[in-house]
């Protein structure tokens, strides 16, 4: 029987918080501070659906979604205050600051820059602002931060191609990957294959949301149709035994997000999530928040959920953390430095996974 969520001690939680972690699946526009949303709204003459930080936080928490599309609808509220360069820079900075307090040593922040151009801000200015915020936070807090440019499935493939070109243009300047997100139903990843092809031709790493809002065929589409290097969510990959074997054999990283998968009904509960099954089979699994605001979570929370709902011990969590560092879209030498530093921290915490 799995231990109950209220059985973890404060000391055990603090040890998990101190565990060095990397986060590879975190959306910038899903991870704002409510206080910042209100301040930016006042500064730019906008209104928010709630008047104070606590009630706005409660409003933004998606605990009643019927599906993925329902969950995604909340993003219109955050995007409303992400249309100026100062706001984007501030939000990027604060996300890394929050992650650093959460024991995160490396983070890849993803977003669709074209959603931040509604009031005339050029795509390049959007990316530049995010990179300034991340770089400043890295200097102040020590957490290494990079960007993944994300295209959206509901938009025209030509938009995805433009975003792939943008990602390539910033390769080596803070952007480390290209991604496809959004509602999967009726929007196969192969519709955007040309964008992925452009990224790959220019040696840009690629990830792809798949198996969250649709079945294992969506994962197959992302892998074999778009040649994704990593998979976002892949919750329903477990429905295809052959494809799961393929993913395990090649150690393709799975960017798992427990809380948001429960919220979007991709998983019926934490206990029903395939994360434990994937790990036990030897899959290269990673833990992530997805959207810190909409999911009301931190990366420490996600590791705690794995511990208390899925029975992960500290050494197993340390292995998951190392998986994340090893799967980062960074040059090998940089990954090795992060992995070596994480192993040393894990050893200091009494973990055996670093041996």
Instruction: Show which residues are catalytic.
Output: 212
Q: How far is residue 170 from each of residues 72, 128, 167, measured CA to CA in Å?
A: 27, 9, 5
Query: Would you say 312 and 323 are in contact if contact means Cβ atoms under 8 Å apart?
Result: no
Spell out a b/e string for 132-169, using b for 16 or more CB atoms within 10 Å of the CB, else e: bbbbbbbeebebbbbbbbbbbbebeeebbbbbbbbbbe
Integer Cα distance of 336 and 72 in angstroms: 35
Q: Which two tokens stand for residue 77?
A: 């509220």
The DSSP code for 4 is P
Which tokens is 335 given? 């990954």
- Rounded Cα distance between 221 and 186, Å, is 12
């Amino acid at each position: 029987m799995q231990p109950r969520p209220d059985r973890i001690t404060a000391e055990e939680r603090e040890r998990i918080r101190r565990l060095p972690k990397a986060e590879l699946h975190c959306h910038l526009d899903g991870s704002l501070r409510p206080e910042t949303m209100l301040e930016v709204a006042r500064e730019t003459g906008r209104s928010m659906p709630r008047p104070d930080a606590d009630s706005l936080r409660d409003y933004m928490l998606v605990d009643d979604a019927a599906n993925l599309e329902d969950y995604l609808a909340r993003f219109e509220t955050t995007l409303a205050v992400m249309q100026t360069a100062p706001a984007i820079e501030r939000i990027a900075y604060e996300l890394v600051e929050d992650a650093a307090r959460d024991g995160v040593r490396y983070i890849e922040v993803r977003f669709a820059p074209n959603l931040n151009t509604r009031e005339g801000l050029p795509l390049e200015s959007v990316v530049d602002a995010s990179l300034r915020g991340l770089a400043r936070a890295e200097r102040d807090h020590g957490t290494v931060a990079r960007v993944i440019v994300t295209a959206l499935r509901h938009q025209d493939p030509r938009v995805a191609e433009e975003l792939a070109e943008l990602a390539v243009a910033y390769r080596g300047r803070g952007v480390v990957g290209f991604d496809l997100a959004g509602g999967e139903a009726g929007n196969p990843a192969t519709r955007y294959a040309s964008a992925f092809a452009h990224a790959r031709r220019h040696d840009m790493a690629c990830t792809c949301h798949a198996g969250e809002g649709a079945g294992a065929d969506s994962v197959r589409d992302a892998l074999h149709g778009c040649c994704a290097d990593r998979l976002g969510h892949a919750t329903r990959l477990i429905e295809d035994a052959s494809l799961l074997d393929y993913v395990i054999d090649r150690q393709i990283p799975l960017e798992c997000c427990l809380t948001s998968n429960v919220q979007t009904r991709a998983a019926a509960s934490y206990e029903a999530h395939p994360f434990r099954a994937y790990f036990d089979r030897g899959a290269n699994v990673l833990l992530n928040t997805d959207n810190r605001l909409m999911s009301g979570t931190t990366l420490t929370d996600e590791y705690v959920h794995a511990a208390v709902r899925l029975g992960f011990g500290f050494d197993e969590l340390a292995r998951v953390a190392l998986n994340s560092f090893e799967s980062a879209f960074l040059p090998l030498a940089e990954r090795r430095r992060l992995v070596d530093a994480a192993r040393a921290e894990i050893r200091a915490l009494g973990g055996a996974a670093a041996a």
